[in-house]
Amino acid sequence: MKDRLVTLIGGGGFIGRYVAQELLATGARVRIAQRDPREALFLKPLGGLGQIQFVAADVRKPETIARAVAGADAVVNLAGSFSDMDGVMAGGARTVAEAVAAAGVANLIHISAIGADPESPSAYGRAKAAGEAAIRAAFPAATILRPSTVFGREDAFVNRFAAMIAFLPVVPVLRAEARFQPVYVADVAQAVIAALRNPAVSGQTLELGGPDVQTMGTLIRWIAGAIGRDPTILELPDVVGGLIAMGGFLPGAPITRDQWRMLQRDTVVTGIDGLAALGIAATPMDAVAPGWLVRYRRSGRFGTHAAA
């Protein structure tokens, strides 16, 4: 990877920042492309002189993507959105793949998600599936990576539940039996690097999941224990969860309607186990998460691990 130029579309996001760090460690040159490059400037000190560059780009504006991928040896598409799913994850994926093909770029990695399915009950799942189809149509040799729910220090998943558990004496749980296979963000980043290095996976779709399958209820209880809290866990029946989701358009709603639809299907590996195929040992959540969840304990890192 040394001295190869890799464009990361959405490189300043949650997963992108980890991919950028892994690439910089290999000696690759990294071009961060996103709508507001200023939001990714925190990455600049991580690279050597001239090793990292920034460019303004929007997957909904083909001319900006054409500039972002020009001269690149490889492109990683990490762009995602919950506010404009079709524009970013479906149409945007097509824009990226067509630009990569036109520029003669050798390698394209596309980050999708477990649950991508044209028949998905959620708009998110359908948009992800449309993006995959667009990638395959314009650049058949692309490697598609489908992570399960991704966790890490900056995530909006484990941290959201930890904050809720720390604040509320009673924690309601929707779809308590829904199953997840959370995958560590650093493992996802390593999978991207391994896929870039391994031409044997070109054209394949690989699913990325962690070593443990958990239900929503089990996950909530594990987080509570990790931060030394002992709230009352209230598992709500689906009829109540559905009613709560109906108000998902309201500010501050705990869940949107589309997120509720996403919970109707398990988020677990059912296809090719990508981490195993790429030679990456999956990291358990309990091996890393307590290191940042400590801030949710009553006395922070000076408190005890057990519930008070």
| Structural contact between residues 175 and 80, judged by C-beta atoms closer than 8 angstroms | no
Beta bridge partners of 145: 111, 206
Give per-residue pLDDT as tens, 115-171: 999 999 999 999 999 999 999 999 999 999 999 999 999 999 999 999 999 999 999
| pLDDT above 80 (res 29) | yes
Q: With pLDDT > 70 as the criterion, what percentage of the chain qualifies?
A: 95
The residues near 286 (Cβ < 8 Å, ≥ 6 apart) are 222, 226
pLDDT, mean over the chain: 92
| pLDDT above 50 (res 46) | yes
Of 183-197, 242-256, 263-277, give the lowest mean pLDDT range: 242-256
Say what the pLDDT of residue 38 is: 94
Say what the pLDDT of residue 248 is: 55
Name the CATH superfamily, with its identifier, for domain 5-141: NAD(P)-binding Rossmann-like Domain (3.40.50.720)
Say what the pLDDT of residue 251 is: 46
Can you tell me the distance from the alpha carbon of 145 to that of 232, in angstroms, rounded to the nearest whole number?
37
Amino acid at 125: G
Say what the pLDDT of residue 255 is: 74
In the Cβ-directed half-sphere of 284, how many Cα atoms lie within 13 Å? 6
Say what the pLDDT of residue 245 is: 75
* CA nearest neighbour of 57 among 95, 110, 9: 9
For residues 202-241, one letter each, b for 16 or more C-beta atoms within 10 angstroms of the residue's C-beta and e for the rest, the string is: eebbbbbbbbebbbbbebbbbbbbbbbbebeeebeeeeeb
Looking at residues 84-92, what average pLDDT do you find? 95
Say what the pLDDT of residue 306 is: 46
Give per-residue pLDDT as tens, 209-256: 999 999 999 999 999 999 999 999 999 888 888 887 776 554 445 678
Say what the pLDDT of residue 242 is: 80
Give per-residue pLDDT as tens, 52-76: 999 999 999 999 999 999 999 999 9
Say what the pLDDT of residue 308 is: 38
